[in-house]
Structure 1
Amino acid sequence: MEIAENAALVVVDVQRGFEEDAYWGPRNNPEADRNIAGLIDAWQASGRPVVFVRHDSPKPDSPLRVGCAGNGFKEYVEERRGKGHGPELFLTKSVNSAFYGTPDLDAWLKEAGVRQIVVAGIQTNMCAETTARMGGNLGYDVYFAFDATYTFDQEGPWGWRLSADEVARATAVTLHGGGFASVVRSAELVAAVK
């Protein structure tokens, strides 16, 4: 695995509101937060760019809505912001893709000459997956840090239910098999930037 000197780590929606179990239900991958922190540390130490994305939900009952404590980043993310040796971007969004946020992620990456991104964060199958898919569509070389994401059990049409692990595996298969991104583990990425 070759990680470019200016590859950007895109940390999607690692917010306190996702810790409200009563709202979201059962989650998977309890190691995700440790892996996300490790990626941020590795990127910051190497001087590579880090993008911190925050979801400002327009839904009045969402724990991620503006003005709610859950809108803020988890403590381990907040204490790392501004601590790197490389460029950093903070953006907000109200939809799934970080490419539809403010400021414009695609413009910022292009201005910096970035052609490779690594996506991590919450939820695996929602905002992280959508950001990775769109990055692939826009021509970026995308790595999806699978074990640095997590999600929740989901219910679909006709009463179909999938566990969080099943939902996450479906995302990995779709991204990798569909050519949107290379799905990898965080340890591989950390090793590649050292």
Structure 2
Amino acid sequence: MLALEHGGLAPERGDILVTGANGGAGSATIALLSDLGYRVVASTGRPKEAEYLRRLGAAEIIDRRTLSAPGAPIAKERWAGVVDSVGSHTLANALAQTQYRGVVAAFGLAQGADLPGSLLPFILRNVTLAGIDSVNAPREVRLQAWSRLATDLDPKKLERITQVVGLAEVTSVAKRMLQGQVRGRTVVDVNA
């Protein structure tokens, strides 16, 4: 969200694509951006989770397969911005579909760490690709992000996104997670 705003995006610019929408970061991003007035399009490989994504604020759901295969170096403009947790072909296709002066924030590698795309979106459309780093982010940036989460993330949506499990459940939850059967953020309560 901060990267999109720093890049000059506002809700009236158009749709924001969120990839990896059922994951913890994707779910929180949908909730945050929709509450800030953005029209959010959620990309997912689990169409059965569409109602969950809509309750978080997604206005539209698309199948991740529309982005995950090799694509054209530049495509019809669709996204004002993108928040990507997937990488690889998905990120390359999202960049190719980003509008003039759009902003793409990338922070994940679920599909891969490669970027098999083209320079055309950057040169022809002045697209910005912002890498999101939570590990080495300066304290000021962290404080700003935490402050915005505290003020902008609806606590009811946070509850919907989060499941708390005990330490004894970690192995079974991890197996379900690897099978794509877990949505949102999982918090481990080591005292439970």
TM-score by length of 2: 0.46
**Greater Rg by CA:** 2
Q: Which has the higher contact order (CA 8 A, sep 6+)?
A: 1
